Structure 1
Amino acid sequence: MSTASTNTLPATMRAIVLEHFGSPETSLKMQNVPTPTPAPGYAIIKVKAFGINHAEMHMRRGEWAESMPIIGIECVGVIVSSVPATASSGQALESGTPVITLMGGLGRTINGSYAEYTSAPLTNVVPISHALVAKLGWARLGALPETYATAWTCLFRNLDVQPGEQLLIRGATSSFGIAAVKLAVNKGAIVSATSRKVERAEALKALGVQEVLQEGVALGERLVLEGRKFDKVLELVGNTTLLGSLKLVRRGGKLCLAGFLGGLAPIEFNPLLQMASGVHFSFFGSFVFGDEEFPLTDVPLEELVELLVRGKLQAEPKRVFEFGESGVREAHRIMEAGQAEGKMVVVVDSAL
């Protein structure tokens, strides 16, 4: 068992609190709140940096099924204390150990990472070496957890992408899409990617994309008329383009729905009329990380960090903000306007 005296924890901490659903300006407020206390099966983490995610935008707007006063579904930081409950609840970690954590209820059923400290299930805490932290820094590490863990699972579990396969990624200039592009290119897949803005084509080609297509609801119909088919499709735009994407998968191919960049509005879907025969269709939501069937240990996070160090993957944050009302609000405004063009990270404490 690893523990640290609660005397090392301040009684209160600064946190961005979701006071009510609404705009970034009115809903996100900096407050002093009680610091989380150690509990069996959980680790207390001193937050160093956290990524900004679309899920948190939907939580802020009241569009998510669950949310807590402190949102934030991922972070990187150091262990203050950890107390295993049972053999299956995760291993104890020494105080001062650098870690990555994501999901496991963060921001949904337990207070999340928009704070100086957070409490996370040990099953969802992954240690990394001090050497890797020193090479990358907290801001770059903060761009990795949710984005790369989810992209890796979609590509190599749901889609089983193999070298030489034709892969279409719809919504490729999002932070999720960029991570998926790099992972797929590193695997040896032949990647086609979509973006709403043609001026982003060169940036995608620089990442290894072979073909860039301008995104739009009619794109699927146009590609069908051209007789185009792909081995695998990663659908990140969501419901607005899903039905078109289903027509772009060859017989025996696979489509994974994992993003909703086009919004959460539902669609009518009649499999008898709209599902292509012989096509495998799946969904992945990262909120399952930590469940018995989806352990976070399934994702080679430390290996992914090593690939970052070697320059094989890209996790340079598009924008980095200081921890505070103004920084977090600005990040949410940019995300809501669809102008992020990559991962945004908030640094709480940059000291290594």
Structure 2
Amino acid sequence: MKAMVYRRYGGPEVLEPAELPEPKTHVDSVLVRVRAAGLNPADLALQAGALDGAVDTYFPVVPGWDIAGVVERAGPAAPEFAPGDEVVGYLRGEVQRAHGGLAELVSADVRTLVRKPRSLGFAEAAALPLAGLTAYQAVVHTLDVQPGEILLVHGAAGGVGSLAVQIARSLGARVIGTASVPRHGYLRTLGAEPVSYGRGTADRVRQLVPDGADVVLDTVGGVLAATAGAARPGARVASVVETGTPGVTPVFCRMSRTDLTALTDLAGTGELTVRVGATYSLDHAADAQRALAAGGIPGKVVIEIT
């Protein structure tokens, strides 16, 4: 099968095409023909060796945690799926090896997969798992956002932020989102009230909510101290980026079939939309990584595999 691999740590330049054997499947594994794979900054960090001290790596590595595809076969202990089923998966493992999503086929643990709604395209589905799980677990579990509460999302137009806005809105919360001015129109389409980044952000938030936000989610880092005045006393605060700040609860993503199913259900009914900013073929995955690293793409970067 065709795949993209890296045989040493580095940037996009170390990513190369390879022909690999078809993955084997265990009794509780599912062989998936990958139709699309989402890229994340975490992929670039792992490829660069940023987590070499924490994650065992066996080269060559096929990168890519987020996938959407079609089941080819399922093991006898994976009766949830049958050939032809369309699935979404989050494949993060404790070890990096030749089992990622940038390949025509991948063998996935049944616990990492859920059904893809027919109404959701493969590219949109592949863009959902990591960013979506992070947003969902932050809003629903870490912050426990309630109907009628006011949530302030920093970086609300980004991959995690835009999904957090929509999840909170589906719960009945009022959402204020910080973003650059060109992205304010996009935030309004999501149901958020936009405010600009930079000096005076806290004052601008207070103009909308004089008593301050009940809940704050930071997805960008470096903004909480400057906008502390935007939150009411005792507000619940969480960050995807800052993990050691007093009074701020860190958010870490983990696979949960329950949470991923809830996300796909929201996407399937149209309550949540996933913004794909750019798509690339498998052969141009290195270019996709460069585009992701450069930033500025209004949405997720996805590899489409035919």
TM superposition score normalised by structure 2 = 0.85
Residue 160 (structure 2) aligns with: 176
Letter in 2 for 1:341: P
1:258 alignment partner, one of 215, 237, 240: 240
Pairing 1:11-90 to 2, within 5 Å after superposition: 13-24=1-12, 26-64=13-51, 65-66=54-55, 69-83=61-75
Distance in 2 (alpha carbons) for counterparts of 1:19 and 1:193? 41
Deviations 1:150-175 (A, max 9, x none): 21121111111112211111112211
Letter in 2 for 1:346: I
Distance in 2 (alpha carbons) for counterparts of 1:15 and 1:204? 36
Letter in 2 for 1:53: N
Residue 298 (structure 1) aligns with: 258
Residues 248 and 91 of structure 1: CA distance in aligned 2, closer, same or farther (over 3 Å): farther
- Structure 1 counterpart SS, 2:20: strand
Distance in 2 (alpha carbons) for counterparts of 1:91 and 1:299? 20
| Root-mean-square deviation (Å) | 2.9
Q: Which runs of 5+ in 2 are unaligned?
A: none
Give the number of equivalent residue pairs: 299
What is the Cα deviation at residue 148 of structure 1? 2.0
Distance in 2 (alpha carbons) for counterparts of 1:312 and 1:299? 15
What is the Cα deviation at residue 75 of structure 1? 0.3
Distance in 2 (alpha carbons) for counterparts of 1:229 and 1:110? 48
1:345 alignment partner, one of 295, 299, 302: 302
- Structure 2 residue 188 is matched with structure 1 residue 205: yes
Moved more, 33-42 or 221-230: 221-230
What is the Cα deviation at residue 55 of structure 1? 0.7
Deviations 1:209-264 (A, max 9, x none): 113221x4x667767999873211111113x335446665434432222247xxxx
Distance in 2 (alpha carbons) for counterparts of 1:92 and 1:172? 35
Residue 100 (structure 1) aligns with: 88
Distance in 1 (alpha carbons) for counterparts of 2:93 and 2:76? 17
- Structure 2 counterpart SS, 1:136: coil
What is the Cα deviation at residue 96 of structure 1? 2.1
Residue 333 (structure 1) aligns with: 290
- Structure 2 counterpart SS, 1:151: helix
- Structure 2 residue 148 is matched with structure 1 residue 148: no
Residue 323 (structure 1) aligns with: 282
CA contact (8 A) 1:79 1:97 kept: yes
What is the Cα deviation at residue 118 of structure 1? 1.2
Deviations 1:127-163 (A, max 9, x none): 24xxx33x33322222222222221121111111112
CA contact (8 A) 1:170 1:234 kept: yes
Distance in 1 (alpha carbons) for counterparts of 2:185 and 2:152? 17
CA contact (8 A) 2:202 2:228 kept: no
Residue 126 (structure 1) aligns with: 114
